[in-house]
Homo-oligomer: A and B are copies of this chain.
Amino acid sequence: MNIVRALKCRECGQEYEIQPTHVCEFCFGPLEVVYDYEKLEGFFTRELIESRPQTMWRYKELLPINGEPTVGVQNGFTPLVRAKNLEKALGVSELYIKNDSVCYPTLSFKDRVVSVALSKAVEFGFKTVACASTGNLAGSVAANAAAAGLESYVFIPHDLEQGKVLGAGIFGTKIIGITGEYDDVNRLCSEVAGKYGWAFVNVNVRPFYAEGSKSLGYEMMEQLGWKAPKHVVVPMASGSLCTKVAKSINEFIKLGLVEDNGTAIYGAQATGCSPIAKSVKEGSDLIHPVRAKTIAKSLAIGNPADGYYANRVIRETGGWAEDVSDEEVVAAMRLLAETEGIFAETAGGVTLGCARKMIESGKLPRDESIVLCITGNGLKTQEAVVDAIDKPRIISASLKEFDILAEADGVK
């Protein structure tokens, strides 16, 4: 059942037929996919969803493709982990990790948006797909395009982590490194998208692409036993994920799949690139672009496309935003690994670090359910922690030498 109605301008409300475009011709506002939810009444039930394979496509009626997906059919459906050890460490009573550090296939939540964007690109008849990326998106576009037999070009800042560069290049994509920041990459990509007939997942196909993030929210609610949490902490780069988690919750409420639990959305940024967090803290809805300087490169978007909308969602839901230093990012990455066995990338350190700060400041209550969105894998950002972790102690294969170490460790 296809319930997609149109593309609609978020500012002036103008509607457009479904097509690869992302900006309103009248007011230059961003376009969003809108649906006729009432068509799903009595059909789109918990039972129907539960009967389907455990992928993000079990919610396919709420994703803007026609019929069955053709790219990324097995993507998504990551574990929601009850974080008992971390609860103790933070002094809270009900904490969950939505663990997209193991998202299929390229270990970040970008696999969700990319499978929608590329399925839609195939529908539209594109043969070449592309993106502007801080790293995870590049890997996901490259891998999913390879599996789908599509050509791909990925554009990244020239100074990304090795794991991000290799984690895209290995798939035989064409990688272009741009001397400059992500915002420069993004600007160039808008020009390239205008000139070449390619599907840029986060430019001309962006309205469809962005909808893919909702699947993270759907899964979270289903995995909580068809409940919306009281609080969700989301890392912010463009700010899009904040808005889409909120949209997913509103849709499930509208469809009667969960009750309204008054969910508040919280945004997390690195201090070295925190334009959205700053605006929330200042009680303003103006986003002042910044030059990014942080180890959390996947979040280093100084001029966030959805900053205004993320700000609004956070303020309207009664949430808050926070930012953390690079040292706090590393400390939080270690804390998450040591308590829950989850090796997240720097963005995960940002999310947990900010959550910790908001718990300590009282912005996040200690006695209500909290979900942390962990969106990428630490094996792609090894540079950030490799010097902070104890190196192996080296001995020869001698029991005597080991005994000395063990004694030093206080082993009995």
**Residues of A at under 8 Å CB distance from B?**
54, 74, 79, 81, 85, 99, 102, 104-107, 142-149, 156, 158, 162-163, 165-167, 169-172, 174-180, 184-185, 187-188, 191-192, 195-196, 333-334, 337-343, 377-380, 382, 385-386, 389-399, 402-403, 405-406, 409, 411
Contacts and interface: CB of A to CB of B under 8 A. Distances in A.
B389 A176 contact: no
- How many chain copies does the complex carry? 2
Nearest to A54: B54
A107 B399 contact: no
A300 to B, nearest CB: 15
A102 B105 CA distance: 7
28 contacts: A74-B81, A85-B147, A102-B107, A105-B341, A146-B340, A147-B339, A147-B341, A147-B342, A158-B392, A163-B382, A167-B343, A169-B390, A170-B338, A170-B389, A172-B338, A174-B393, A174-B409, A175-B393, A176-B393, A177-B393, A178-B397, A179-B397, A180-B397, A187-B397, A188-B402, A196-B411, A379-B379, A379-B380
A230 B81 CA distance: 37
Given A166-B386, A394-B179, A411-B196, A171 B405 contact: no
Contacts of A386: 162, 166
A396 B179 CA distance: 5
Contact of A394 (B85, B158, B389): B158
